[in-house]
Amino acid sequence: MLESITENRIINDLAKRFRRSPLQKNMLHESDSEIIVFNNTCGGSIAVTIDSISEEIETGLYEDPYLIGWMSVMVNFSDIAASGAEPIGILISEILPAHLSAEYVDRIQEGINDAVLKCGSFVLGGDTNSGEKLILTGCAIGRSSENTYLKRTGCRKSDILYSTGKLGKGNAYAITKLIDKNASPYIYLPEARLKEAAVIKKYASCCMDTSDGLIAALDQLLRLNNCGFKLISDWLSTIEEEAKKTAESIRLPQWLLLAGQHGEFELLFTIPEHIEADFLGETNMSDWKPVKLGVVTDNQTLIINLYDKMVSLDSCKLRNLPFLTEGDINKYLQNLLEYDHELRETATVPG
Amino acid sequence: MLESITENRIINDLAKRFRRSPLQKNMLHESDSEIIVFNNTCGGSIAVTIDSISEEIETGLYEDPYLIGWMSVMVNFSDIAASGAEPIGILISEILPAHLSAEYVDRIQEGINDAVLKCGSFVLGGDTNSGEKLILTGCAIGRSSENTYLKRTGCRKSDILYSTGKLGKGNAYAITKLIDKNASPYIYLPEARLKEAAVIKKYASCCMDTSDGLIAALDQLLRLNNCGFKLISDWLSTIEEEAKKTAESIRLPQWLLLAGQHGEFELLFTIPEHIEADFLGETNMSDWKPVKLGVVTDNQTLIINLYDKMVSLDSCKLRNLPFLTEGDINKYLQNLLEYDHELRETATVPG
């Protein structure tokens, strides 16, 4: 079932030879970071993750060196947050083409530094190489003083689905960079939800970040948990206002802001119904308002109210589209629009 | 003084904005891995390092996908070994161009897997991206049950300089790949010296791996420790036999096998004189024979007996050559040969 998704198949194939460490507490796909417990007697454990920024630079999605530096930190600390860990620090390997100016490189470092400060954390080390293409790889390390972590698995029927913030921001930004270059600039500078994660951790049954957008994340969760999700009828209210305007400006159906695969690095998490009030009680005392998205169901599908019908989305198709269209953004967009048209005409009506 | 070396200047410049973590027990440049102590009360600490394989692929030095996979693991575990840590595992980010065949990618994974098994360790996680250039970045994690680590700093005058094995292997391999492509193949598959590190750790005053060759490592150590090194007169005996043959085949003066900057990933370490006998006593009981290289001196220079004269090597010049010659291997080689000629004619005679 996981293998219906091209990305999962690629990962399984790359990892097929590797034996698992007995110290590792998560299975493949099961967690945004790797959870390693290396000293049971006194709770020595870490969460660790690695992520490269390369495709985003190559496609022109990330052009500003400050953003490139910022993202190399945030994508990694977002995984640390999704695991319910506090950040210890990050190591960054930079492949720097010789033609980059000193100012350009300095802006990358500024982005890295500001992101690390924003996360209250540190650059612990790094590596630098020359190369033809600019690539940044971050490896972030976190820990949990209680020795407990969040995973992508664990949600159950009737748990309530939340995100840390409004959605669609990553895809709105991608529209302005890749589809309509004349669109008004969209400010995209996501922050890893570390502070929120510390609260979420006390209540959530599972957690994952929306690095690939909402629908990709829900698709992965439904495969891992043998569950489904039903989004609230008023899903439009979960999309950020500026993002909506961007979609409008190119006449893109708003729900596609949830389907595109450039995410906003919010955390997606589920709260068991019987402790939802406690959870909301705690968040009410802070300035953070979690966004209610829907509910966990027991049949493995993703339900959304579209065009006044209850639609079961083909999230498998949506997730595999970038591979099918081989990185051609126009072809990708056209496929999305065709699928939207199909839904408009012949929506399936689940039971 | 560190800043006389272009590489150190680049690193200082990249890191200049970053504040250091109070949990980090090493300064910049001071250690092959970053040492993080995050739980003082019960000895929670890790050593962590990141290293990318990109230049070696771009220049054609590493062509065999198995070697590329192998090296992405070994260069990182070698840093873990140089810190006196035991490996916990590694995360690997792979940038895989779409044109690579499934067989080619599989050979990379085989190299990764064999290297990890050889180190008795595990692949903990990873990331995969497509991109124009093949690049592998490893981030290795180690720990020390005693909570103690080795650093590059700490050696003193009259400490004895050793390496874990014979030298010149990395540069001999580079000769066959980059300079004389008709030379008989030179088998290069270095192994991180983790087992030896466990012994070294009990005795050594400092440690660093020879990832950039012997002279680059000694140059860094003399800058960090305000000391010098005098190599044994019979330094030729410290070079591996096959490597000597490769140098002979292109009439390269043998000492340049120590000066070139493609290393062999041996560990370089210093043993205080008064415990040398204990150290050798322990190694005598194993099948490992450490190689005596010389002695630590108190004036900051690197002395070698060359052409029947005691020569003070310009290790600064030697280390900066790759930057000066901008990656042009023939120009680099010519500069090395000119320097050798200069030494032959007008060697300085230190006191």
**H or E element in which residue B321 lies:** helix B315-324
Contact A131 B135 (CB under 8 A): yes
Q: Is A293 helix (H, G, I), strand (E, B) or coil?
A: strand
The reported pLDDT for the residue numbered B147 is 84
Q: Which amino acid is at B122?
A: F
* A109: nearest CB among B14, B23, B41: B14
Instruction: Indicate the SS3 state at residue B124.
Output: strand
Mean pLDDT value across residues A32-38:
93
At A181, the pLDDT band (50, 70, 90 cuts) reads confident
Residue contact B39–A44, C-beta within 8 A: yes
- Residue A181 CA to residue A189 CA, distance in Å, equals 18
Q: For residue B182, what pLDDT band results from cuts at 50, 70 and 90?
A: confident
Interval A295-312 mean pLDDT: 96
Residue B349 has pLDDT above 80, yes or no: no
Question: DSSP of A192-217, one letter per residue?
Answer: --HHHHHHHHHH-SEEEE-TT-HHHH
To the nearest whole angstrom, how far is the Cα of B285 from the nearest Cα of chain A?
A: 30
B76, closest residue in chain A (CA to CA): A127
Q: Six-digit token pair at B79? A: 């840093």
Q: How confident is the model at residue B43 (pLDDT cuts 50, 70, 90)?
A: low
A128 touches chain B (CB under 8 A): yes
Confidence of residue A44 (pLDDT cuts 50, 70, 90): confident
Q: Of how many residues is chain B composed?
A: 351
Beta carbons of B79 and B118 less than 8 angstroms apart: no
Tell me: pLDDT of A154 over 90.
yes
Q: Which residues does residue A268 pair with via DSSP β-bridges, in sequence order?
A: A163, A208
With CA atoms as reference, report the closest residue to B213 among B254, B250, B268, B291: B268
- Looking at the complex, report in whole angstroms how far the Cα of residue A322 sits from the nearest Cα belonging to chain B: 12
- Taking the CA of residue A37 and the nearest CA in chain B, the distance in Å comes to 10
Q: Which of B21, B98, B133 sits opposite A124 (nearest CB)?
A: B21
Give me B217's structure tokens: 């490592």
Q: Identify from A6, A8, A50 which residue to disrupt to test chain B contact, counting B C-beta atoms within 10 A and taking the largest count.
A: A50
Contact A113 B17 (CB under 8 A): yes
Q: How confident is the model at residue B351 (pLDDT cuts 50, 70, 90)?
A: very low
Distance CA(B123)–CA(B91), nearest Å, equals 6
Residue of chain A nearest B141, judged by CA positions: A48
- Of A289, A283, A38, nearest to B47 (Cα)? A38
pLDDT for res B40: 64
DSSP alpha helices (H): ranges in chain A?
A: 6-15, 55-58, 65-82, 102-118, 169-174, 194-203, 214-225, 241-249, 256-259, 276-284, 315-324, 329-345
Q: Given an 8 Å threshold on Cβ–Cβ distance, is A93 in contact with B132?
A: no
Distance from chain centroid for Cα A282 = 24
User: What are the phi and psi torsion angles at B22 (to 5°)?
Assistant: -65, -15
Q: What angle do CA A233, A234, A239 make, to 5 degrees?
A: 130
- Partner-chain residue, chosen from A15, A34, A46, that has the shortest CB–CB distance to B46: A46
pLDDT at B78 over 60: yes
pLDDT at res. B348 = 53
Q: What mean pLDDT do residues A213-224 have?
A: 98
Q: Which residues of A19-41 are buried (b: 16+ CB within 10 A; e: fewer)?
A: eebebbbbebbebbbbbbebbee
Q: With contact defined as beta carbons under 8 Å apart, do A122 and A89 qualify? A: yes
Instruction: Using pLDDT thresholds of 50, 70 and 90, give the confidence band for residue B183.
Output: confident
* In chain B, % of residues over pLDDT 90: 93
Please choose, from the candidates A91, A129, A107, A100, the residue with its C-alpha nearest in 3D space to the C-alpha of residue B17.
A107
8 Å CB contact of B122 and A20 = yes
Is residue B100 less than 8 Å (CB to CB) from chain A?
no
Of A52, A113, A133, the CB nearest to B127: A52
Q: Round the average pLDDT of chain B to a whole number and report it.
A: 95
Q: Chain B: nearest CA to A275, how far in angstroms?
A: 32
pTM, entire model = 0.95
Instruction: Return the closest-CA partner of residue B304 out of B173, B170, B161, B151.
Output: B161
Residues listed for chain A? 351
Angle between helix B65-82 and helix B194-203 axes, rounded to 10 deg: 20
Q: How many helices (H) and strands (E) does chain B have?
A: 12, 12
**Is A116 in the B-facing interface, judged by CB distances under 8 Å?**
yes
Residue range B196-243, pLDDT digits in tens: 999 999 999 999 999 999 999 999 999 999 999 999 999 999 999 999
Cβ-proximal residues to B136 (8 Å cutoff; 6+ apart), any chain: B52, B53, B68, B69, B72, B92, B93, B94, B95, B108
pLDDT for position A351? 44
Q: What pLDDT, on a 0 to 100 scale, did the predictor assign at position B38?
A: 84
- Identify the H or E element spanning B51: strand B44-53
For A230-239, letters b (16+ CB in 10 Å) and e give bbbeebeebb
Q: Do A50 and B131 touch (CB under 8 A)?
A: no
Q: A65-82 and A102-118 helices cross at what angle (nearest 10)?
A: 30
User: Taking CB atoms and an 8 Å limit, are A39 and B38 in contact across chains?
Assistant: no
Q: Alpha-carbon distance A137 to A135, whole Å?
A: 7
The pLDDT tens digits of the residues spanning B5-32 come to 999 999 999 999 999 999 999 999 999 9
Per-residue pLDDT reduced to its tens digit, B109-153: 999 999 999 999 999 999 999 999 999 999 999 999 888 999 999
Using alpha carbons only, how large is chain A's radius of gyration in Å?
A: 20
pLDDT at site B104:
98
Q: Is the pLDDT of residue B311 over 90?
A: yes
Contacts of A124 in chain B (CB under 8 A): 21, 24, 34, 36, 48
Cβ-based contacts of B41 with chain A (< 8 Å): 42
How many residue pairs from chains A and B have C-beta atoms closer than 8 A? 195
pLDDT tens readout for residues A309-324: 999 999 999 999 999 9
Tell me what percent of the residues of chain A surpass a pLDDT of 90: 93
Using an 8 Å Cβ cutoff, are B161 and B294 in contact?
yes
Query: Residue A34: which of A78, A94, A79, A93 has the closest Cα?
Result: A79
Is A146 a residue whose pLDDT tops 80?
A: yes
Q: What is the ipTM of this complex?
A: 0.95
Distances (CA, A) of B177 to B183, B321, B329: 8, 19, 11
Residue A40: its pLDDT value, please? 64
Residue A148 has, within 13 A of its CA and on its CB side, a CA count of 10
pLDDT tens, residue by residue, A70-129: 999 999 999 999 999 999 999 999 999 999 999 999 999 999 999 999 999 999 999 999
DSSP letter, residue A107: H
